Amino acid sequence: MLVNDKNSEILCKGAGEDRPIEEKTKNHYRNFKQIVNTFYNEEIEEINYDEEIILKNKGTIKLEPKVIYDKFSGDMKVEFKIGSKKMYKIKDLSEFYTRMLENQFYKYGQNLEFVHTREAFEEDSKPLLDFILRYAEIIKYANSNSNSNYRYYGKALSDTNIILGNSGIDELFDLLKGKQVLFQKDYNTEEIEFTDVSPKIEFKLKKVNEEQYTIVPNIEIFNVTILKGKKYKYLLEQKKMYRCTKEFENTNLKLLELFRQNYMTEVLLGKEELTQLFSIIMPKVKNAIVMEDIEEEEIAPYRPKELEIKVFLDFDENDFLVAEVKFIYEQNEFNPLDEKLKLDFPRNMIQETKALNVFRKTGFMFDKQNLRFILPDNDKIYEFLAEDINYYMQKFDVLATEKFKLKQIRQPKIGSLGVKVENNLLELDLKNIDIDIKELEEIMSKYTLKKKYHRLKDGSFLDLEGNKEIEFLDKLVTGMGMDYKELESDAIQLPVHRSLYLNQLLKGMKGVQVVKNQEYREIVNGLDKEQLETEMKVPENLESILRYYQKTGFQWLKILDNYRFGGILADDMGLRKNNSDVIYYCRLCAKYL
């Protein structure tokens, strides 16, 4: 390696020739310089944005939609124009999405160039901008994968417009509600108003002659377009796009669709069919059909009178719930389950059908022999008594027999409890429990299985959910190691050492009067920590011998002995005492107990 002092040039020898190291170094740093240039050029581009153009266009750019409907395919799509003074069509939604994503500066034409930021758009256009970007992202992603094995929705999408599905129609209507929008249909383009007011479409009942009538719509039914969104239906008619309310959709619009589906412009009916018109059709379509030049007294005989429904509830010999139903139109009363009846007066068939369906939904079965409803399932009967009967009383005139009133849902109650300690035994008085004690074992087995109820032998139901009385009896039996049959007597006797456990159970019996004798009170009141420490003193000659925990053990054994309780003091303190220590401690305790 040689140094040329004249030029301060370092030469490198190798492979038979010399190269300046400076040139070699430049090649090594070429990638770094490329990164520098990239960031520098980006900064220059940002500086080169004409700030005057950015400020000038801030909040001035607007978007205009154009809705296109193809009646043959039923497709609806929307395309957009962008601009300020002059509007330009957005030809490629994918590219528009990229411009917005990267805040690009773009020139659409002589009168529109701006940096694509959200701030550039006027406030009214920003919701529409969000709509475009949401769908343009899908279009871009679909088209970028159109040549690969994975395809979005199985095909590439148009870049010039957004095809609207059911949800898209609802969403676009929300954005355009109350606005005038360009709408293209059958190659004709005109401005229409998007409105959420239902159209004034109705059907007129006209008299043709003395024996015939006709129902005619007040519009040309085949000149309107019906569109279906996800939540709503829409009707396009006379330069307005209407969003139909659910009530209008289920009445006027449903009748209109029936006319269109059957290619009818009018419906002819005879005078005798007026009864069906008023009893079946009119209740469903409500005010969709109006009378024209027809006197009320002429059609009054064909209108059903007000329907009154009476329900008679009872229990049969099997303790099944039965319901007899009567329909009443003024002086006419009949059993709707009797198919042999021949009635010649107008009836509200829709209302009758709805009423009978209530029984079926509740679980009632048809008793054909007795022409009544019957509910044989205990779970269904309980549900009816707990909940369904309230609905029945709201809808119908409900009458019940005395037998029914006696077989209701009962809440088990304990009126009062007597507790006493006598002759070294704990006695509990249970005679004031409002339950047939002979059914207690079966009741408690249902409670253990977490059943909602138990049906008593008299046919009534005992509520087992969240019941403190039942919970008390369950803990009493299981905690005391008893058998349910032991509770069949008016009073039960227990070892006195169960006094504390019983006292804990009694604390949860709010609203129940508990009568305790003096000896029981002394026991439960005396067993507290403060009295244990103050009254049960360790003998003086043991003070220096016993440790603290041993003193506590001694005090506990002493109080158990005072109240004639049995007890075992287990020493598992982990102190590694030998057997002689334990024996010595036990002997000390025994000496003073």
pLDDT tens, N- to C-terminus, the chain (593 residues): 334 444 444 334 444 455 555 665 666 677 777 787 777 666 555 545 555 556 666 888 999 999 999 888 888 999 999 999 899 999 999 999 999 999 999 999 888 999 999 999 999 999 999 999 999 999 988 888 755 444 444 446 888 999 999 999 999 999 999 999 999 998 899 999 999 988 999 999 999 998 899 999 999 999 999 999 999 999 999 899 999 999 999 999 999 999 999 999 999 999 889 999 998 898 888 889 998 888 888 888 998 999 999 999 999 999 999 999 999 999 999 999 998 998 888 999 999 999 999 999 999 999 999 999 999 999 999 999 999 999 999 999 999 999 999 999 988 888 788 888 888 788 888 788 877 778 888 888 898 899 999 999 889 999 988 888 888 888 888 888 887 777 777 788 888 878 778 888 888 787 788 888 888 787 777 665 445 555 567 777 777 777 766 776 676 677 666 666 666 666 555 444 555 555 555 555 555 55
Same domain, 69 and 135: yes
The gap from C-alpha 27 to its chain's centroid, in whole angstroms, comes to 68
Same domain, 293 and 319: no
Residue 541 falls inside a structural domain: yes
Contacts made by residues 372-376, CB under 8 angstroms, sequence distance 24+: 372/322, 372/323, 372/324, 372/325, 372/337, 373/322, 373/323, 373/324, 373/325, 373/337, 374/316, 374/320, 374/321, 374/322, 374/323, 375/320, 375/321, 375/322, 375/323, 376/318, 376/320
Residue 311 contacts residue 393 (beta carbons within 8 Å)? no
DSSP letter at 91 equals -
pLDDT score for 536 = 60
pLDDT score for 28 = 67
Name the strand (E) or helix (H) holding 214: strand 212-217
Same domain, 62 and 152: yes
CB atoms within 10 A of CB 527: 17
Same domain, 562 and 578: yes
Rounded CA gap, 534 and 555, in Å?
A: 10
161's tokens: 């417009």
Residue 311 carries which side chain, given as an amino acid letter?
V
pLDDT score for 216 = 95
Same domain, 399 and 494: no
DSSP letter at 456 equals -
Rounded CA gap, 173 and 140, in Å?
A: 24
SS3 431: coil
Same domain, 501 and 557: no
Residue 432 falls inside a structural domain: yes
Name the strand (E) or helix (H) holding 184: strand 180-185
pLDDT score for 187 = 84
Q: Which of 274, 302, 330 is the last residue of a domain?
A: 302
Residue 76 contacts residue 67 (beta carbons within 8 Å)? yes
pLDDT score for 439 = 85
Rounded CA gap, 542 and 585, in Å?
A: 10
Q: Which domain holds residue 100?
A: 54-185
40's tokens: 């520098």
pLDDT score for 42 = 60
Same domain, 38 and 68: no
Same domain, 169 and 236: no
DSSP letter at 279 equals I
Residue 139 contacts residue 158 (beta carbons within 8 Å)? yes
Residue 472 falls inside a structural domain: yes
Same domain, 162 and 233: no
Rounded CA gap, 243 and 194, in Å?
A: 8
- Ranges of beta strands (E only) in 70-104 are 76-83, 87-89
Same domain, 175 and 68: yes
Rounded CA gap, 281 and 128, in Å?
A: 43
Same domain, 179 and 208: no
DSSP per-residue letters across 249-278: HHTHHHHHHHHHHTT-S-EEEEGGGHHHII
Per the structure, the count of domains in the chain is 6
Residue 191 falls inside a structural domain: no
453's tokens: 């109820």
| Residue 90 burial (C-beta neighbours within 10 Å; 0-12, 13-18, 19+) | buried
pLDDT score for 6 = 43
Residue 271 falls inside a structural domain: yes
* Backbone φ and ψ of 177, nearest 5°: -55, 130
Q: Is the dihedral of CA 174, 176, 179, 182 positive or negative?
A: negative
Determine what percent of the chain falls in helix, strand and coil, rounding each to the nearest 5: 45, 25, 30
263's tokens: 């290619």
Residue 443 falls inside a structural domain: yes
Rounded CA gap, 137 and 496, in Å?
A: 80
Overall pTM surpassing 0.75 (yes/no): no
| Residue 456 burial (C-beta neighbours within 10 Å; 0-12, 13-18, 19+) | middle
Residue 190 falls inside a structural domain: no
SS3 102: helix
Q: Which of 130, 154, 185 is the last residue of a domain?
A: 185
Q: Which of 384, 407, 430 is the last residue of a domain?
A: 407
Same domain, 257 and 327: no
3-state secondary structure string, 350-405?
Answer: HHHHHHHHHHHHHCCEEECCCCEEEECCHHHHHHHHHHHHHHHHHHCEEEECHHHH
